Each structure stands twice: as C-alpha cells, then as structure tokens.
C-alpha cells in the first residue's frame, strides 16, 4: 500500500506558494498550514508510475523519447548526455481535489492554504520517488536529472496526451486530462527524468530553468 | 442448451483471463491501441479466444476494452464500428471452431479514460452517449452480454449501465477496480458499489483487475456480505512487480487457482482472470473449482442508500435525515432558491453534516421556480462537495427522474403513497435507477385514523412495488406523525403503526418527527420525547433538524440506552468534557475587541459579536461606511504593499462577511436597505476547471457590496453572454489558468464585445500578463483580487 506518508512537507515552499517569498507567516496562518497538512494526509491516496525508455537525440533539438518525439531546446539541455529517460507520473488522487473543493465553499482562507499545501505535497511525493529511483539507478552506476514536465519552457503542454497514454495513467494511477490538457486530479505531475552515466549535479530544478523571470512564485524572487 | 439466465447464479461459470498483457508479450507496443489487432492480427486474437475456450472458459471477452469514439475518432484510420464488429466476429469464429456453442460472448467495455464532472470535464450524458454507441454496435453484431469492467468511478459506471439497459436487452455484468485500501480511486467502498449496482438492476456485479486474488479476498467478502445478486471475481495474476524495465504479474496458475478455490468457497458465482492471467490459469482455476459444490446466491435483507463514497444502512441503527433543505416555512431558503443562491443551500448541507445528519433531504419545490431544473442543479452541486447520501423529495415526477438520473449513488426517494396513480408514476423510476422509496401510509381516502388502516395501505404499497420487482427492503413506510394538538391520541396511532411494521413485516419506517407538536408551545420538548418513543417502537429513519440540540441529545441518549453505543463511547465523544469548555475561553473573549481589529486580524468568530456591540451605538449603514469598509481598505493596502498576505486578506474578508451577516439580519428587521453597488459576473472560462482564483475574487467583491453572479467553472462563452444580456451586467470577470484555456477566454471576450459592447471585461489567471490580456481584447488585467476590486470601483 502507498499509504502512509514518507514525505516531509516543506513549509517554506507552502508559504512561497502563498506569496510570502522567504518571509514567515503569522501564527494563525502557520496553524492553518499545519491543520491543512493533517486534513490532506488523512484523505489523500497518492500513486505514481514510471517507465524507462531509450532516448535518441537528433538535430535541431529533436528528441526521440520512444513514446513520443519532441522538439525542445530546454528539454534537450536538461537531457544532454543522457541515453535513457524515465517517463514519470504521480498524483495525490481525486480526494485532494474533493477536499479543497469542499473547503473552498466553507472558507476561502483555508482553501488557499490547503491548495498551497497540496501543491507542496505532490512535490514532496515526487521528490520521495525521485530519491527512490535514484537509489535503484545508482546501483547500476547511473544518475538521474531533475524532473522536467510538459509545459516547462518550450516543452509543449500537448505532450501530456502521449505521456498519459504511454504510461496508461488513467487505469494505473487514475490520472486523466481534460480536452484542454489540464491534469485531473489537479495535484498531479508528469515529468521526464533523464538518466545519465555521469553524476551531473549542476542542473537546476524547473523553477530556475524557467524563462518567465517576472513570475510571482519564482523561487528566488 | 441452457441460456445465460438459466446458468448465472445456478452453477459455476468461468470467465476468460488476460488479453492486453498477452498481446504485449506478442509485440503490442507502448501506446499502440490493442483493438486494432482485431483487424491487423486477427489470427492472434482468434487463437487466443480459442485457447481460453479450450481451457474451459464459459465466457470470453471481445477485444474491445478501449474501443470508444475518443480513441477511434470519426476520421481516424479505423472506424469504431469495424473494430467492434471484427472483435465480436473473431470471438464467434473461435466459439464455432472449438465447438463450444455453450459459451457466451461478452462485449467488453472499459472506462473512457476521462473523469466526469464535477472533477473532470466530461458530462455524464456525454459519457452515456459514448457507451451507447458501443452497445448498439455490439448488440447488432451479436454479443450475448455486456461486461462493463475496470471502472474506478461509480458515476461513469452508472452512465455505462444506463446506456446498456436503455439501448439493449442484453444481460449486463458490472465489475469495478478496487485499490488495496478497499476503495475505488474515486472513493466508493464495496457497500456503496453494491448499493448502486443492485439499484441499477445489473445481472451480476464484482471486482476485476488492480489486485491479485489474495488481496481481493477481503473486498470479495464485503461484496458478498451485501450483494443479493451473483458476484464475479476476475483478479490479476498477483500484484504487478517490476522486473528490470518490465512489469510482470507472476502468480503461477497453480497458486492462482488455489486461492480462487478459496474465493469460490466464499459464495462467488463467476470466476476468471484479468491482467497477467493466461489460458493455463483459467484451466487450473476450472479444475480446482468445478467439482466444488456451487453455493447459491443468498438474498440479503439489507436496506442501503449510497453516495459516491459510502453507503448508509437503514434498519440497523436509527438514521438521521436532515430536513433543512426544504423551503416549507423557511424564508431564507425560499429567497436562496429564487435567487439561485447555491452557496446558501450548500451551507445548509454542511451545517447538517457537521451536526450529525446521515442523509440529507432535498426539496426545492416552490411555485414560481422550474423545479426539474432546480432539483437537478441542487443535487449536482450538493453531491460535488458533500458525501452524504441524498433524499430526493418531490412530488414532481419529472424533477424526480432528472434528479435520480444525475445522482451518483443509490438515492432515497420521498415519496410514494397508496394512491394508484402515484405508484404508477414513481415505481418504474425506482426500478430503473434504484432507490429506497418512502411510502406514505395514506391514499385516495386520506390518512387512516387507526394503525390498522395505515398498515393496510403499507401492505398495498409493498404489494404494488413487488409487481415491479422492487423488494420490501427498498420501501420505508412513513407511519405519519400528526399533531397531538388537534387529536390527543394521534401519537399512539403512529407509534402503534411503527411497531407493527417492525414486528409483523420486518419493515423499515420513517417519520417527519416534528409534525407531532404542531401548534404547541416549546415544541422541542414534545419532539424529543416523541422521537425517543418512536425509536423505541422501531423507527428506522427520522426526518428532523440535526441543528436542534434537544433532538440530538435524544438521539445520542437513545443509542446509549438501547445498547447501540458500546461503552457509551459515542455519547462520551459528543458530550464528555463539555462543562469545562463552556467555562473557559468564552469568558476571556468577552474582553472587548473592536470591529476594526476583528477585521484587520481576521477574527471571524469574534467579529459578529463586535458588530452586535456596535449596533447599540451606531446605525448599520454608518457601521459599514465608518468601520467595515475603512478596515477592509487598510487590509487591502497592506496586501498591495506586501505586508499582508493572501491568507490574511481572506481571513479579514471572512471576518467582514460575518459582520455583514449580523448587520444584514438587523437591517432586515428594521427595514433598512443597503444598496448593492452593481452586478458583476464571475466565471472560469470553458475548458478550465480550476476556480480557486475566481473564488478569491468573489469573496472580496462581495465584501465591497457588489452583487456577484458566480457562473462557476468551465463556463461556455454563450452562457456568459446570455447572462450579461439578460441581467444587463456591466462588468464581467473571467479567469483562466492555462494557455490552452486562454483561447476560450479570448472567444468569450469576442462574443461579449459583439453582443454587449457596453460591458467591461476584467481578466486574471496564472498565465496572463498585462500584454497578453490586451492582446485578447480584455479591458483590464487584474494581477490579484484587490486589483479587480479597484477596477470595479472605477467602472461601476
């Protein structure tokens, strides 16, 4: 069973999503954060799946990830030196959406906090998977790159579709999408994780890599 | 040869095993559609069917699991019709070639891969249409039955079952995929699944995929505990395990068959396999099971209603049905229904849930509203945020049917009575959609004055229901509580009726308890006493106000006294430690806090009190202008400067709302009117299902006395334009989260500008910027909720 939780929710990250930047919140808000973590942990049932594929790099930033081919400068940079990729998908499950939906009818202040907590929670869940996968691949002398998702930089969002299909996400983990390419359940992640033979630590995470420098949520803003 | 009906539930039947996993071994690529093999690799599919038939499968599934119009599009390389027809034809050929004319061909239908509204973007009726198309093709091509399998959502399952039932007379088998937490991905437990599927009158129900036989055992046990129809079990060959880069299922045929033998002994009727199982698994399975004595299906006399997540059992412990969503005698609810104030109605639901209601009664009947439309709307909204089963309370048959169709579960229906025409109208609906129906003990001749008279009508209702195949367990008799103020013996007649239904008919009963005290002072005294007497005489369900302390005390005390509350633990949970609570913090909160402070600090609980205090000094309008608004402005400024953050801004807004509520009540009593500042439409655009940003804006605009018309999420442009025209709205706020939905925002703006040029449009959302907003023609870009408020102030 996937339950119970082996993540630690990064409170600073939650506050950043709420617009606090690096500042601390007052006691009432911090209490709301803790309460939201408890309530969410009670109901969520996170699931993840992945598949390893060979990677071929072509000219003009074309990448063949086996399940689909894509032209993307940013992804090419992220995957430089990799010969394989992991297609990874994870979701907190629909219960998180249901709870946030219900709370937003009762108290919007709690709903925004819970929304931020859920966002941090899916990240923490993905991180715990990334650690687990890193362990598996380290034994084979391989190293993982940071997650890179459709919608980051010039990696188009439309790749959600082949992504979900290749991993059979609706059946395996209950992850679907709308006609407009929004993931449902909303607290879900799809990501490409490069596998390389060198321990290349200098790669940054998605946020710093993003070109939208004026973003309100940017980690260093 | 015996028919399906003659065999199902009377003897062992064996289903075939895995299809997709075997095709993968034979070279099916990731992302390749397995059903195309019906055309491109017909030999492989036919020979697999043959191997299953030779292994002893009595039912084989066509290779059509994912065959639907979403995957096989109209102009695609393969037509849906040819895929399904070839799938059935291959199964038929295999049956003929193996001489297994006794075997059945099941049209295999899997989930669409999309989530239904409100969580996803697919309409229930669109899902229905997708399934309908498959079923019509399959029926015409000669399938013997329909298998709807691997469903993880009860709502999608309901759409598929209705499509099968309304478009064919083929038998329908429905199996769902459970997780190790013994629930569906969308939350339902086994009891809720049984309630829904039995209600929809499927021929057999069960579980498939997801788990191996070992992990399924407990869930199968629960299904069998509740189901009165045959149960099907089609497990995987164990849990998936990763071997290098491959996923394998590695429970061998012998081990699989051995556990399945144990499962057969639990009382299951049909056994087979799913992912990872092979003809060898089915062969062993058959060998182990076929000589075991078949266990006939047992009728369980269990009454259940359900929501998308759980079932509520009636007849075991007293059930509380919250009566607050019913406009009779409730001025505010009437007003909410007239103005389509869904938030008010939802809040009535939340409060009753918190107070301990198990089921909520929903009655929206008002002469001046379109009841079928309103009923469907309210049911849809309630079931989106509340997981309590609902009681559809209406005498309007059209409203009843619409509500039953869109309801995600097995509802309670209120009501029928002994009148022939009412039973003629309601029972067919109950038979079709499922439900537990309230039968009022009255008829054409009125309400009988004696218990015997009421029992006679109950008998008539039971008998008539039986003609439709509706069992007695799905009828709950309303023994009718009539006020004792006009007939001092009326309570005894009611109690006697309850007792007789329990003792002589083993039936369930219901009462609108508070009717008993109509016309008397301190009604709650009588109500609570009568409630306890009624429970003692067998009352199964009380329609009552769970906000009434007296009634809840009666309920909890009764449970404790009637031996239904082990170690009185529930009683202690509710009432233990209350004394100390009442003394502590309440007093310390008496120290005076000004209304401004309450708002600036976001003290929702105390701002009402502070407002009441101020009412003694100032008139309400001055309180708004001199205290409330300036405090809100200060908070807003702090937010813009970055000293106050979003959660605090919203807490302040909620504190202000609490103050407004107090003022509103006071003004209504004194006849003062506060002018609303103007109407604003808010909507999350079509295709976008993220509405948190829009909801934040709504809270703030309402604080500033704007009349917000909230159209919700995923709203088509036409609806926004139409509402703006109808109500002459001068400002529209639109939100969109993603680049993929901004196109629909642009379309909405275009239509609005064309149809209603004097309306201004303000937009916001994650991907939007000042320039982007300008480029799509918006009048204003609001970077946050306060910016929207400022724009509203400048244009309205």
The verdict on residue A212 lying in a domain is: no
Q: How confident is the model at residue A209 (pLDDT cuts 50, 70, 90)?
A: low
Task: For residue A83, give its domain range.
Answer: 11-198
A23 contacts on B by Cβ (under 8 Å):
645
In a domain, A204, yes or no: no
**Phi and psi, residue B314, nearest 5°:** -110, 130
Distance CA B113, CA A92 (A): 17
**Is there a domain that residue B584 lies in?**
no
Query: Which residues span the domain enclosing B702?
Result: 679-795
C-alpha–C-alpha distance, residues B493 and B502, integer Å: 14
User: Are B105 and B30 in the same domain?
Assistant: yes
Measured between alpha carbons, how far is A114 from A148 in angstroms, rounded to an integer?
25
Q: Based on the fold, state whether residues B260 and B149 are members of the same structural domain.
A: yes
Residues whose CB falls within 8 Å of the CB of residue B77, separated by 6 or more in sequence, listed in order: none
In angstroms, the CA B335 to CA B351 distance is 19
Could you give the CA distance from residue B435 to residue B198 in angstroms, rounded to a whole number?
A: 10
Task: Answer yes or no: are the C-beta atoms of B191 and B226 closer than 8 Å.
Answer: yes
| Residue A219 within a domain | no
Which of B185, B245, B739 is the closest to A94 by Cβ?
B185
Please state, for a pLDDT cut of 90, what percent of chain A lies above it.
Answer: 83
Residue corresponding to tokens 């209600």? B199
Of B644, B670, B696, the one marking the end of a domain is B670
Residue A215 located in a structural domain: no
Q: How many domains does chain B have?
A: 4
> Total structural domains in chain A?
1
Establish if A192 belongs to a structural domain. Answer: yes
H/E stretch holding B586: helix B578-588
- Say yes or no for a CB contact (<8 Å) between B31 and A165: yes
Q: Would the pLDDT of A5 be above 80?
A: no
Contact between A170 and B111 using a beta-carbon 8 Å cutoff: yes
Cβ atoms of residues B501 and B477 within 8 Å: yes
The predicted-structure confidence for A76-121, as pLDDT tens digits, reads as follows: 999 999 999 999 999 999 999 999 999 999 999 999 999 999 999 9
B567 and B606 share one domain: no
Q: Which residues in chain B have Cβ-Cβ distances shorter than 8 Å to A93?
A: 185
CB contact under 8 A, A106 and B350: yes
pLDDT of residue B764: 95
CA A41, CA B309: separation in Å to the nearest integer? 18
Chain B residues whose CB is inside 8 A of the A52 CB are 245
pLDDT computed for residue A8 by the predictor: 87
CA distances from A175 to A93, A102, A190, B135, B246 (A): 8, 21, 10, 26, 21
- Note the pLDDT of residue B686: 95
Residue B309 maps to a domain: no
Specify the pLDDT at position A219: 60
Q: Is residue B533 part of a domain?
A: yes
Decide if A182 and B690 are in contact by the 8 Å CB cutoff.
yes
How much is the pLDDT for B247?
A: 83
- Measured between its terminal Cα atoms, the distance across chain A in Å is 39
The helix/strand count (H/E) of chain B reads as 32, 25
Q: Answer yes or no: do B414 and B494 share one domain.
A: yes
Indicate if B58 and B196 belong to the same structural domain.
yes
**Beta carbons of A176 and B118 less than 8 Å apart:** no
Question: What dihedral do alpha carbons B482, B483, B486, B491 form, nearest 10°?
Answer: 70
Chain B closest-CA separation from residue A195 CA (Å): 13
Residue B241's pLDDT is 87
Q: Are residues B710 and B785 in the same domain?
A: yes
Contact A115 B692 (CB under 8 A): yes
Residues 6+ apart with CB under 8 A from B141: B84, B85, B88, B89
* pLDDT given at position B582: 46
Contacts of B644 in chain A (CB under 8 A): none
CB contact under 8 A, A182 and B737: yes
Chain A residues touching residue B646 (CB < 8 angstroms): 18-19, 112
pLDDT of A3 above 70: no
- Whether residue B688 and residue A185 make contact (CB cut-off 8 A), yes or no, is no
Residue B147 lies in a domain: yes
Classify burial at B96, counting beta carbons within 10 Å of its beta carbon; exposed 0-12, middle 13-18, buried 19 or more: exposed
Q: What is the pLDDT of residue B586?
A: 41
Q: Which among B30, B245, B738 has CB closest to A180?
A: B738
Same domain, B782 and B726: yes
| A16, A50, A95, A98: best to mutate for the B interface, most B CBs within 10 A | A98
Residues B526 and B649 in one domain: no
Q: For tokens 């389509």, what's the residue?
A: B340
CATH number for B767? 3.40.50.280
Cβ–Cβ of B113/A170 closer than 8 Å? yes
Q: Is the dihedral of CA B314, B318, B324, B329 positive or negative?
A: positive
Q: How far A78 CA lies from chain B's nearest CA (Å)?
A: 22
Asked if residue A203 belongs to a domain, the reply is: no
Same structural domain for residues B284 and B414? no
Q: Do A105 and B114 touch (CB under 8 A)?
A: no
Query: Would you call B341 helix, strand, or coil by DSSP?
Result: coil
Using a CB-CB cut-off of 8 Å, the residues of chain B touching A105 are 343, 346-347, 350, 385
Residues contacting A51, CB < 8 A, separation 6+: A67, A86, A87, A166, A167, B30, B245
Q: What is the model's pLDDT at position A215?
A: 63
The verdict on B373 and B438 lying in the same domain is yes
In a domain, B688, yes or no: yes
Boundary residue ending a domain (B646, B670, B694): B670
- CA distance to partner chain B, nearest, from residue A166 (Å): 5
In a domain, B308, yes or no: no
Domain with B75 in it: what CATH number? Answer: 3.20.20.330
CA distance B452 to chain A (A): 47
| Contact yes or no for A105 and B347 at CB 8 A | yes
Size of interface A-B (CB pairs under 8 A): 142
The Cα A76–Cα A62 span in angstroms is 8
Instruction: Please give, rounded to a whole number of angstroms, the shortest distance from the CA of B759 to a CA of chain A.
Output: 27
Q: To which H or E segment does residue B795 belong?
A: helix B785-795
B187 and B270 together in one domain: yes
Which ipTM value was assigned to this complex?
A: 0.91
Domain termination residue (choose one: B670, B701, B718): B670
Q: What is the CATH number of the domain that holds A59?
A: 3.40.109.40
Half-sphere exposure of B94 (CA within 13 A, CB side): 31
The pLDDT assigned to B683 comes to 97
Assess if residue A97 is contained within a domain.
Answer: yes
Look at A52 and B31 and tell me if their CB atoms are within 8 Å.
no
Let me know: does B780 contact B791? Beta carbons within 8 Å: yes
Is residue A211 situated within a structural domain? no
Nearest to B124, CA basis, from B354, B308, B273, B305: B308
Chain B residue closest in CA terms to A176: B114
Inter-residue contact B745 to B684 (CB < 8 Å): no
- Contact call for A186 and B690, based on CB within 8 A: yes
CB-nearest partner of B179 from A28, A45, A170: A45
Question: How far from A119 is each of B104, B120, B424, B738, CA to CA, in Å?
Answer: 49, 18, 52, 16
To the nearest 10°, the Cα dihedral for A146, A148, A154, A158? 170
Q: Check B687 against A178: CB less than 8 A apart.
A: yes
| B305 part of a folded domain | no
**pLDDT by 10-residue block (mean), chain B, 796 residues:** 94 97 92 94 98 98 97 94 98 98 98 95 97 98 98 98 98 97 95 98 97 98 98 96 84 97 97 98 97 95 97 97 96 93 94 97 95 97 96 98 98 97 98 98 97 98 98 97 96 98 97 96 97 98 97 98 96 82 45 87 92 89 92 95 94 95 88 85 95 94 94 96 96 93 95 96 92 95 94 94
In this structure, the answer to whether residues B38 and B175 fall within a common structural domain is yes
Domain contains B559: yes
């Amino acid at each position: 069973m996937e339950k119970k939780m082996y993540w630690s929710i990064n409170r600073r990250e939650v506050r950043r999503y709420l617009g606090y930047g690096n500042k601390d919140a007052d006691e009432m808000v911090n209490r709301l954060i803790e309460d939201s973590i408890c309530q969410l942990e009670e109901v969520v049932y996170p699931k993840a799946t992945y598949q390893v594929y060979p990677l071929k790099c072509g000219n003009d930033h074309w990448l063949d990830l086996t399940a689909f081919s894509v032209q993307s400068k940013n992804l090419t940079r992220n995957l430089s030196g990799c010969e394989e990729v992991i297609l990874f998908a994870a979701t907190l499950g629909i219960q998180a959406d249901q709870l946030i939906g219900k709370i937003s009818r009762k108290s919007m202040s709690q709903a925004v906090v819970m929304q931020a907590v859920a966002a941090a929670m899916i990240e923490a869940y993905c991180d715990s998977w990334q650690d687990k996968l890193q362990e598996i691949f380290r034994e084979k002398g391989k190293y993982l790159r940071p997650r890179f998702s459709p919608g980051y930089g010039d990696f188009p969002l439309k790749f959600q579709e082949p992504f979900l299909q290749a991993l059979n996400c609706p059946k395996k983990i209950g992850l679907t999408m709308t006609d407009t390419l929004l993931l449902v359940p909303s607290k879900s992640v799809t990501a490409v994780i490069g596998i390389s033979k060198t321990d290349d630590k200098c790669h940054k995470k998605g946020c710093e890599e993003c070109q939208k420098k004026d973003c309100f949520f940017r980690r260093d803003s | 040869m015996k028919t399906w009906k003659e065999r199902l539930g009377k003897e062992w039947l064996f289903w075939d095993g895995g299809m997709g996993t075997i095709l993968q071994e034979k070279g099916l690529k990731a992302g390749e559609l397995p059903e195309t093999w019906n055309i491109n690799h017909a030999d492989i599919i036919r020979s697999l069917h043959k191997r299953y038939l030779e292994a002893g499968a009595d039912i084989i599934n066509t290779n059509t699991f994912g065959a639907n119009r979403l995957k096989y599009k109209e102009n695609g390389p393969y037509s849906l019709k040819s895929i399904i027809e070839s799938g059935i034809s291959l199964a038929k050929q295999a049956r003929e070639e193996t001489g297994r004319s006794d075997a059945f061909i099941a049209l295999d239908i899997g989930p669409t891969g999309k989530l239904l509204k409100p969580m996803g973007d697919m309409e229930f009726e669109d899902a229905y249409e997708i399934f309908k198309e498959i079923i019509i093709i399959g029926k015409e091509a000669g399938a013997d039955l329909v298998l709807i399998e691997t469903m993880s959502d009860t709502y999608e399952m309901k759409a598929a079952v209705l499509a099968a039932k309304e478009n064919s007379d083929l038998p329908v088998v429905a199996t769902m995929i459970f997780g190790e937490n013994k629930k569906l991905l969308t939350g339902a437990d086994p009891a809720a699944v049984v309630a829904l599927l039995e209600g929809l009158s499927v021929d057999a129900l069960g579980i498939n995929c997801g788990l191996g036989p070992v992990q399924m055992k407990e869930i199968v046990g629960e299904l069998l505990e509740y189901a009165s129809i045959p149960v099907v079990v089609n497990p995987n060959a164990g849990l998936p395990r990763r071997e290098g880069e491959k996923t394998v299922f590695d429970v061998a045929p012998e081990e699989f068959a051995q556990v399945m033998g144990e499962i057969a002994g639990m009382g299951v009727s049909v056994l087979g396999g799913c992912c990872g199982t092979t003809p060898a698994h089915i062969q062993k399975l058959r060998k182990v099971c076929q000589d075991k004595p078949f266990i006939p299906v047992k009728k369980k006399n269990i009454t259940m209603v359900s929501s998308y997540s759980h079932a509520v059992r009636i007849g075991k412990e007293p059930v509380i049905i919250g009566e607050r969503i019913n406009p009779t005698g409730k001025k505010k609810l009437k007003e909410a229904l007239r103005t389509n104030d869904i938030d008010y109605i939802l809040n009535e639901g939340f409060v009753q849930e918190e107070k301990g209601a198990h089921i909520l009664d929903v009655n929206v009947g008002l002469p001046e509203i379109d009841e079928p439309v309103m009923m469907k709307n309210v049911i849809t909204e309630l079931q989106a945020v509340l997981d309590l089963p609902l009681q559809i309370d209406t005498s309007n048959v059209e409203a009843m049917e619409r509500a039953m169709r869109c309801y995600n579960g097995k509802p309670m229906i209120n009501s029928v009575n002994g009148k022939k025409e009412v039973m003629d109208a309601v029972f067919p609906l109950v038979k079709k959609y499922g439900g537990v129906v309230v039968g009022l003990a009255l008829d054409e001749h009125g309400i009988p004055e004696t218990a015997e008279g009421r029992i006679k009508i109950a008998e008539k209702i039971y008998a008539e229901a039986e003609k439709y195949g509706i069992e007695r367990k799905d009828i709950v008799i309303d023994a009718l509580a009539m006020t004792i103020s006009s007939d001092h013996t009326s309570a005894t007649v009611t109690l006697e009726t309850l007792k007789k239904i329990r003792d002589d008919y083993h039936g369930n009963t219901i009462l609108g308890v508070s009717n008993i005290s109509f016309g008397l002072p301190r009604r709650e005294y009588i109500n609570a006493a009568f409630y306890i007497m009624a429970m003692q005489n067998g009352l199964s369900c009380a329609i009552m106000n769970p906000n009434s302390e007296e009634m809840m005390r009666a309920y909890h005390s009764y449970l404790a006294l009637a031996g239904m509350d082990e170690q009185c633990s529930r009683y202690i949970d509710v009432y233990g430690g209350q004394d100390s609570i009442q003394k502590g913090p309440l007093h310390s909160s008496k120290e005076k806090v000004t209304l401004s402070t309450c708002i600036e600090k976001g003290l929702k609980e105390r701002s009402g009190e502070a407002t009441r205090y101020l009412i003694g000094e100032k008139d309400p309008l001055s309180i708004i202008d001199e205290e409330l608004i300036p405090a809100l402005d200060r908070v807003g400024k702090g937010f813009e400067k970055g000293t106050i953050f979003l959660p605090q801004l919203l807490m302040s807004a909620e504190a202000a709302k609490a103050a407004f509520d107090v003022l509103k009540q006071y003004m209504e009593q004194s006849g003062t009117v506060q002018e609303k500042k103007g109407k604003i439409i808010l909507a999350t655009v079509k295709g976008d299902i993220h509405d948190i940003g829009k909801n934040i804006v709504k809270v703030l605009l309402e604080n500033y006395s704007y009349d917000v018309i909230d159209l919700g999420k995923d709203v088509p442009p036409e609806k926004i334009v139409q509402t703006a025209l109808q109500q002459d709205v001068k400002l529209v706020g639109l939100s969109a989260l993603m680049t993929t939905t901004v196109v629909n925002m642009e379309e909405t703006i275009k239509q609005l500008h064309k149809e209603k040029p004097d309306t201004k449009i303000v937009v916001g959302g994650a991907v939007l910027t000042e320039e982007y907003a300008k480029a799509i023609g918006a009048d204003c870009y609001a970077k946050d909720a306060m910016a929207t408020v400022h724009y509203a102030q400048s244009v309205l």
